[in-house]
Amino acid sequence: MEKVKIFDTTLRDGEQTPRVSLNMNDKVMIAKQLEKLGVDIIEAGFPISSDGDYEAVKAVSEAVENVTVCALARCNKKDIDRAAEALINAKHPRIHVFIATSDIHLKYKLKMSKEQCVEKAVEMVAYAKTLVDDIQFSAEDASRSDKDFLVEIFEKVIEAGATTINVPDTVGYAQPNEYYDLLNYVITNTKNSDKATFSVHCHDDLGISTANALSGVKAGARQVECTVNGIGERAGNSSLEEIAMILDTRSNYYNVTTNIVTTEIYKTSKLISAITGVSIAKNKSVVGENCFLHESGIHQDGILKNRETYEIMNPDKVGIPKNNGLVLGKHSGRHAFNAFLKQHGFEMEEEEIQKYFIKFKELTDKKKYVTIDDITSLVGELPYNENYKFHSYTSSNNDDGTATVYLNILHGNDLITKRAIGNGQIDAAFNALNSIVDKEIEVLDFEINAVSSLSNALGEAKVLLKLGDNEISTSGLDLDIIKASIQAYVQGINKFGI
């Protein structure tokens, strides 16, 4: 079967998710996991947009070995030069140049004619080709562009050196049949289409991005651009896990395959959720908590007789951990804990295992049995430099509806204690932390979730913080949700480098 390349744009388009901001360390951590996942191309960022994005693309280029690293650029030399500089150490670099082609974009945004658009695209693709051999060209808003104009511009940029042609549904407007017809038309009518890989990039404004992307595959596209958990601009992008598992589960229908290591899907999904602060809906396809749960008696009866009666995917296939009779609790030793990690695909050095074992034992002092979800979340916690460490807190509610918190934080060998009042215990704790570091850190978003459905589940706090022009997403994990919230905020203080 033919291969469909998976072009992951979690680090670029995914970062454009409202209230999501990734720093360089976040991007490197994600990129390494995407490499394990088996994606073919990682779009690491838009280097001209900021120094941070430039440094992140550069860092990702140096961190991965067996995957193409792509940098985005508009059709101008300054953008392209910056992209090439960021990719200087990439083993397999790609520059992705784009220009809008729809009448509405040409008239109101670019204020240029179709002739000028073609001229600019050809000139900049040819220029990029002098710097990097692998060039991708995107016709922004292609789904609302004249299809014959697309054929014209595609032919000419392929002649100029483009090796991949992207036909994006930038605003999520296309319907599956329309998108199939568009891809089929441009591939059939572009005379030199055999010299390039055609790609699809679909947005989910109308909830059909994955369907559109797969329609493109049916029409001959052999690259799909997507993001983990479907995050991205506005309503998001085609979801990588959906694309991968549809092409795996229905390979007989699409007659294509991918390089995705499906057992890494769940772990990757959880990592992205933890770093971005964007929670996974319980009913999210492939990776949601409810995906392999069965409430109906009829369904339960069928599942007990043969799982295939109501499950078209095996949870093992996407890397969702299961117990297999191994119960971990207060008296479980390091050997059993290590066996669990290996059983569920967590590969780490002895030093890391010992660190997580200590956290596990601390947790067993608080609850009798530790669930798979608990341990998966513990191991999925993000490492960071601990300049400040949580020590302890006490709190009380006041008669006027406010709360008072006494917070103890370690800074090196010093124990700092602060008292603060707020609209609730968490707000008071955050006020105390701002006082400790003497900074006005702003909370842009705050979310609390349980990591499993049990009444004694670990609580996960996700916080989006802003200091100056910098925004970061953080998370904390504990049975005590106030402590988890404080830990998330402390992690943020450390990630800001205060």
Alpha helices in 256-371 (DSSP H): 265-276, 297-305, 334-343, 350-364
At residue 304, the pLDDT reads: 53
Please name the residue that has the structure tokens 């067996």. 66
Average pLDDT of the residues in 418-444: 95
Evaluate if residue 299 carries a pLDDT over 50: no
Provide the percentage of residues in the chain whose pLDDT is more than 70.
88
H/E run at residue 31: helix 24-37
At residue 328, the pLDDT reads: 67
H/E run at residue 446: strand 442-450
**How do the domains of the chain map onto residue ranges?**
2-276, 290-320, 321-379, 388-495
At residue 33, the pLDDT reads: 94
Evaluate if residue 308 carries a pLDDT over 80: no
At residue 354, the pLDDT reads: 84
Give the pLDDT band (50/70/90) at residue 303: very low
196 CB-near residues (< 8 Å, 6+ apart): 154, 158, 162, 163, 164, 165
Alpha helices in 130-208 (DSSP H): 147-160, 176-189
At residue 18, the pLDDT reads: 81
At residue 386, the pLDDT reads: 76
For the ranges 351-365, 414-428, 484-498, which has the lowest average pLDDT?
A: 351-365
pLDDT per position as a tens digit, 461-470: 888 899 998 8
Quote the CA–CA distance of 212 and 203 in Å, as a whole number: 9
Pairwise pLDDT comparison (473 vs 155), residue with the higher score = 155
- φ, ψ at 398 (rounded to 5°): -95, 160
Tally Cβ neighbours within 10 Å of residue 485: 25
Q: Is 412 helix (H, G, I), strand (E, B) or coil?
A: coil
Q: What is the CATH superfamily name and number for domain 388-495?
A: Alpha-isopropylmalate synthase LeuA, regulatory domain (3.30.160.270)
pLDDT per position as a tens digit, 82-115: 999 999 999 999 999 999 999 999 999 999 999 9
**Helix-helix angle 209-219:176-189, to 10 degrees:** 30
pLDDT per position as a tens digit, 442-455: 999 888 877 665 55
Q: Which class would CATH give 2-276? A: alpha beta
Evaluate if residue 325 carries a pLDDT over 50: no
Evaluate if residue 149 carries a pLDDT over 90: yes
The answer to whether the beta carbons of residues 23 and 277 sit under 8 Å apart is no
What pTM did the predictor assign? 0.77
Pairwise pLDDT comparison (278 vs 11), residue with the higher score = 11
At residue 373, the pLDDT reads: 63
Evaluate if residue 277 carries a pLDDT over 60: yes
Q: What is the mean pLDDT of the chain?
A: 89
Average pLDDT of the residues in 425-449: 93
Specify which of 137-151, 325-339, 441-455 reaches the highest per-range mean pLDDT: 137-151
Give the pLDDT band (50/70/90) at residue 334: confident
Give the pLDDT band (50/70/90) at residue 495: confident
Average pLDDT of the residues in 407-411: 94
For the ranges 62-66, 74-78, 84-88, 412-416, which has the lowest average pLDDT?
A: 412-416
Quote the CA–CA distance of 436 and 429 in Å, as a whole number: 11
Average pLDDT of the residues in 387-399: 92
Provide the percentage of residues in the chain whose pLDDT is more than 90.
63
Tally Cβ neighbours within 10 Å of residue 130: 10
At residue 448, the pLDDT reads: 86
Alpha helices in 64-113 (DSSP H): 77-86, 103-105
At residue 383, the pLDDT reads: 56
Average pLDDT of the residues in 67-80: 98
For the ranges 2-11, 133-142, 325-334, 421-430, which has the lowest average pLDDT?
A: 325-334
